[in-house]
Chains A and B, each alone.
Chain A
Amino acid sequence: MSTLLTSRIMTDVFGGITSGAVIALVALCLVIVWKSTNVLNFAQGAMGMFATFVGMNLVFHDTNYWLCLVLSVATGLVVGGLTERVLIRPLYGKPEINPIVVMVGFLGLLEALVPAIWASSFNTVPSPFSQVYFQSHGNTVLLSPFVLYQIALALGVMLVVALLFQYTTLGLKMRAAALAPEVSRLLGVRVNRLLTLGWMLSSGIGALAGVIVSTGHTLDATNLDGIFVSAFIAAAVGGLESPLGAVIGGLLIGLAQQFILNYWSANLAPLAGVIVLLISLAIKPQGIFTRTVTRRV
């Protein structure tokens, strides 16, 4: 067991899951927003980092890490809700390109605004857990309490979201509002509130992704940019519709990145997303996880 844990393969697997989990988290945000409002949120990463800055910047002023985390997520929820109400709602029923243009503009605005408000100080966000790797019989396992925290937080959030959508009445209403808004209204479902809620949820999760990638690293407005690109591919692998597809796509890209990095070249790691995308396009161009329902008579 210990030789397995310290083997080169397992090292890559742990590393891949860590980065893949964050990619999966951002991909999940994209899917939630796409499913509920048919908007590709190009500002997803920037919104997450803005919220992360609002909360985590206080770490440098001796505020408790966990309080900063809660503040970041709360900010994410508010930013998501406001974005839907102010920027997106007036565009429902307009050409699909309109919200895309608006969100690309919003991305530019946020990435300019964040460094302007919080002058870059290149401070590292301290980790609440030890970053020292575990040892097993004198060998190093590339896992630390901090890495476990990152993985557990990302996977935990995904699990909560899955349970919310599948097993709660709120989840049922959110899915219905996304799939059939008019029918939902006819059944008394307050669709507009649920669309706002979908944006809040996705932006709150985005903030959490920002916190995960920034902990133990420099706080920077562009921390989620590279992840956003991979997340976009992960969401596309799932056909943009499937939360499960986005999560699996994200983990696959994370693992592919890690293996390319270790066995090929660090410079080629960004290719991982392209490779996963090409394979999925070859197998099923409309998205691996889009469901085809067969009729049973």
Chain B
Amino acid sequence: MIRVERLSVVYGAVRALTDVSFGAPAGRITAVLGANGAGKTTLLRTISGLVKPTSGAIFCDETSLLGLATENIARLGIGHVPEGRGVIAEFTVEENLRLGILASRANVSEGLARQFALFPVLGERRKQYASTLSGGERQMLAMARALIAKPSVLLLDEPSLGLAPQVTAEMMRTISELCASENLTVVLVEQNAKSALRIAHDAVVLHLGTVIASGSASEVADNSDLRRYYLGLVTP
């Protein structure tokens, strides 16, 4: 599980996050919602150590992540699929996946077989350069590359970005199944609140770097003010 306590991040004169607190328990999907510039990506980047917070605390189970280098945070079993997916275009599908497993002690061929079973299209394209994949396939590759190291926590930054609605729905279903079967802690950052709330157990709503609402996904989804003013969802 991930626990964030009173986290603040300042970029120069801009306060990106102010006193953000929330918990993401294991085996559940916690959606982090909010408009552009709400601080969602900064939150994930701070958990992964790419951004240094000015104050606050971050824990993975009982281990404090503060001050740890990004690579060491990853080695603790925290997988991060960045915005834009971060697939290495110059690498083949298989090379991308191998890179994901190197830092862990997991068996390479076993890991590849597992991911190819989960995402058969990646198996078909294992020798192809990642640059030749479609948006949906790239997203699958990015997910598979994070999953191959058998993480306990998965941080997903806008996985639905640029994907067709049908592909998004499929992606969300996969995330939901993985969370249950692997007892993963999933922190799902999304602008697409509708599809995120459909699979999330809990939700946190960020606005200009502060938490304005949190609770179960259904509570957030049922709050008409939140829906209208912060999530861009039209109340039925």
Q: Do A and B come from one complex?
A: yes
Q: Nearest Cβ distance between residue A223 and chain B, in whole angstroms?
A: 36
When the two chains form the complex, which single residue of A172, A176, A182, A188 contacts B75, counting CB atoms closer than 8 Å?
A188
Bound form: Cα–Cα A169–B72 in Å: 19
A187 at the interface (CB under 8 A from B): yes
A191 at the interface (CB under 8 A from B): yes
When the two chains form the complex, which single residue of A186, A191, A293 contacts B80, counting CB atoms closer than 8 Å?
A186
Residue of chain B at shortest CB distance from A297: B134
A173 at the interface (CB under 8 A from B): yes
Bound form: Cα–Cα A185–B68 in Å: 12
Q: Nearest Cβ distance between residue B98 and chain A, in whole angstroms?
A: 6
Bound form: Cα–Cα A180–B100 in Å: 13
Interface residues in A160-190 (C-beta closer than 8 Å to B): 169, 172-173, 175-176, 179-180, 182-190
Interface residues in B107-148 (C-beta closer than 8 Å to A): 128-129, 131-132, 134, 145-146
Contact B102 A180 (CB under 8 A): no
Contact B132 A179 (CB under 8 A): no
B86-102 vs A, Cβ < 8 Å mask (1 yes, 0 no): 10111100010011101
B149 at the interface (CB under 8 A from A): yes
Contact A186 B131 (CB under 8 A): no
Chain B residues, CB < 8 A from A294: 132
B180 at the interface (CB under 8 A from A): no
B213 at the interface (CB under 8 A from A): no
Bound form: Cα–Cα A180–B91 in Å: 11
Interface residues in B43-92 (C-beta closer than 8 Å to A): 48, 50, 69-72, 74-75, 80, 82, 86, 88-91
B192 at the interface (CB under 8 A from A): no
Bound form: Cα–Cα A133–B86 in Å: 56
When the two chains form the complex, which single residue of B48, B98, B129 contacts A186, counting CB atoms closer than 8 Å?
B48
B103 at the interface (CB under 8 A from A): yes
Residue of chain A at shortest CB distance from B100: A187
B104 at the interface (CB under 8 A from A): yes
Contact A191 B86 (CB under 8 A): no
Bound form: Cα–Cα A293–B131 in Å: 7
When the two chains form the complex, which single residue of B50, B89, B103 contacts A187, counting CB atoms closer than 8 Å?
B103
When the two chains form the complex, which single residue of A169, A183, A291 contacts B102, counting CB atoms closer than 8 Å?
A169
Contact B129 A180 (CB under 8 A): no
Contact B102 A173 (CB under 8 A): yes
Chain A residues, CB < 8 A from B82: 182-183, 186
Bound form: Cα–Cα A187–B145 in Å: 8
Interface residues in A178-227 (C-beta closer than 8 Å to B): 179-180, 182-191
Bound form: Cα–Cα A8–B79 in Å: 62
Residue of chain B at shortest CB distance from A193: B71
Evaluate whether A172 and B88 lie within 8 angstroms (CB atoms) in the complex, with A185-B71, A188-B102, A293-B131 already known: no
A61 at the interface (CB under 8 A from B): no
Contact A172 B95 (CB under 8 A): yes
When the two chains form the complex, which single residue of B48, B91, B128, B134 contacts A176, counting CB atoms closer than 8 Å?
B91
Bound form: Cα–Cα A103–B20 in Å: 45
Interface residues in A275-297 (C-beta closer than 8 Å to B): 291, 293-297
Residue of chain B at shortest CB distance from A170: B102
Contact B100 A169 (CB under 8 A): no
Evaluate whether A293 and B89 lie within 8 angstroms (CB atoms) in the complex, with A172-B98, A183-B82 already known: yes
Q: Nearest Cβ distance between residue A200 and chain B, in whole angstroms?
A: 19
Contact B134 A180 (CB under 8 A): no
When the two chains form the complex, which single residue of B74, B129, B146 contacts A185, counting CB atoms closer than 8 Å?
B74
What are the 4 closest A-B residue pairs judged by CB atoms, nearest first? A188-B103, A188-B74, A183-B86, A185-B70
Given contacts A183-B82, A296-B132, 18 further A-B contacts (CB under 8 A): A175-B91, A179-B90, A180-B86, A182-B82, A183-B86, A185-B69, A186-B70, A187-B74, A188-B71, A188-B74, A188-B75, A188-B103, A188-B104, A189-B99, A189-B103, A190-B71, A293-B89, A295-B132
CB<8 Å pairs between A and B, sample of 26? A172-B99, A173-B99, A173-B102, A179-B90, A182-B82, A183-B86, A183-B88, A184-B99, A185-B71, A185-B74, A186-B70, A186-B74, A186-B80, A187-B100, A187-B102, A187-B145, A187-B146, A188-B71, A188-B75, A188-B103, A191-B71, A291-B90, A293-B90, A293-B129, A295-B131, A297-B134
